[in-house]
Structure 1
Amino acid sequence: MHIEEWLQAIPAGWLYAAVAVVIGLESLGIPLPGEIVLVSAAILAAKGVAHPLWVGVCASAGAIVGDSIGYTIGRKGGAPLFARLARRFPKHFGPSHVAKAEGYFHRFGVWAVFVGRFIALLRILAGPLAGALRMPYWKFAAANVLGGIVWAGGTTTVVFYLGLVAEKWLKGFSWVGLVVAVVIGICTTLYLKRRAGLALDEGDL
């Protein structure tokens, strides 16, 4: 079953919980499709299945709490933690991935936590790596909260209103509107991620 179909099949309360849990686990360091779940939930909100405010709130809460737990785990586990993760999840925690993410942290500091929310690699690694590198918690917390709210709230808002526009102009062809909303939402997300990645690589932050 597709993620969107699964979310639509469950009650709204469980949908909000699923958004918070999946995004929280991803932010903690477990490679899960948090962004896909968020976009799917926002599209369902545009179709009246859920309320966009609660989608955004639950997504933000999951992101902030998950990253905070990841920070604690990283601070306690340190480098040996990443060595174990590399053996279990080489595609996500391989030496090259960790080294690249660590390079961003050394280069941009707290900004890597904020911008990392928009980039898949850093979204998974930001919390644990910030803890392992002993970033002061107050700095991490500020960037974590701001990044979580901007990413979750912004994504929900953009996808929700694009979904409403698609439904309005393609009334009577709901499936077409859904496809258009999905495509636009994905393209917007990819564009933002590409811009964030380029900013990091070029040192524009």
Structure 2
Amino acid sequence: MNFGEYIDPSYLIKTFSYVGLFGIVFAETGLLIGFFLPGDTLLLTAGIFAARGDVTLFGVILSCFLGAVIGNSVGYYIGHRFGPAVFSRQDSRIFKPEYVEKTRGYFERYGALTLIISRFVPIVRTFVPTMAGAGRMDFRLFTLYNVIGALIWCTTVPAAGYYLGRLFPPEVLDKYILAIILGVIVVSGLSVAVELLRRRVKAS
């Protein structure tokens, strides 16, 4: 067993089911080191497995929702407890300046809505709750948008996977699931690339 298996969506769902789903979503949003974890691809794959009957769609959505809400709340606490010091190390391999600046840019542009929008933006969703806590965002407002964002994300992405699972026969999905997952990664990362390019052009 190697590390690659632990970030392989299919392996995680087959082996750890709802617990694995909860754990990955929680780690990605609450432990600050989870930006490399397969959030979107895991949810999409879980939806496909739900269509096959390996898990239930309700169980997938509930596991994701709980992991997302609790994870964000932990991230908020870390930011609130330790404040700006969390992001102050310029040489940090985790809190890279470009990650922090990108997250700050979302807050400046969208305000509290960032908690909803960032659910669909890899890397950013990892740092948003911590930055909200560090910025002393009202916890009640944070919780409201946290719950709404988690509900939307944890419903739409697995539902898309469920639809794909119903639309195509298992043998087709088995053959092309890797391509589908790679496609999701590319689409998810596209917004990050576009935003970074936009900010560089603006800075120059």
- The two structures have a TM-score, normalised by structure 1, of 0.79
Structure 2 unmatched ranges of 5 or more = 199-204
**Does the Cα contact within 8 Å between 1:52 and 1:160 map onto a contact in 2?**
yes
Residue by residue over 1:54-85, the C-alpha shift from the partner in whole angstroms, topping out at 9 and shown as x without a partner, is: 00111011001100110011011111112359
SS in structure 1 of the partner of residue 68 of structure 2: helix
| Of 154, 157, 161, the match for 1:155 | 157
**Larger RCO (CA under 8 A, 6+ residues apart):** 2
Q: 1:66 to 1:86 in 2, by over 3 A?
A: farther
- How do 1:132-151 and structure 2 match up within 5 A? 132-151=134-153
How far apart in 2 are the matches of 1:42 and 1:27?
20
How far apart in 1 are the matches of 2:13 and 2:108?
42
Letter paired with 2:137: M
Aligned residue-pair number: 190
Q: 1:56 to 1:190 in 2, by over 3 A?
A: farther
How far apart in 1 are the matches of 2:181 and 2:10?
17
How far apart in 1 are the matches of 2:14 and 2:184?
26
Residue in 1 that maps onto 2:74: 69
How far apart in 2 are the matches of 1:72 and 1:86?
23
How far apart in 2 are the matches of 1:67 and 1:145?
9
Percent of pairs identical after alignment?
28
Residue in 1 that maps onto 2:29: 27
How far apart in 2 are the matches of 1:189 and 1:5?
15
Letter paired with 1:139: L
Residue in 2 that maps onto 1:176: 172
**Does the Cα contact within 8 Å between 2:102 and 2:124 map onto a contact in 1?**
no
Structure 1 unmatched ranges of 5 or more = 168-173
How far apart in 2 are the matches of 1:189 and 1:159?
14
Residue by residue over 1:129-175, the C-alpha shift from the partner in whole angstroms, topping out at 9 and shown as x without a partner, is: 110111111111111101111001111111111111112xxxxxx33
How far apart in 2 are the matches of 1:81 and 1:164?
44
Residue in 1 that maps onto 2:128: 126
- The two structures have a TM-score, normalised by structure 2, of 0.80
Residue in 2 that maps onto 1:170: none
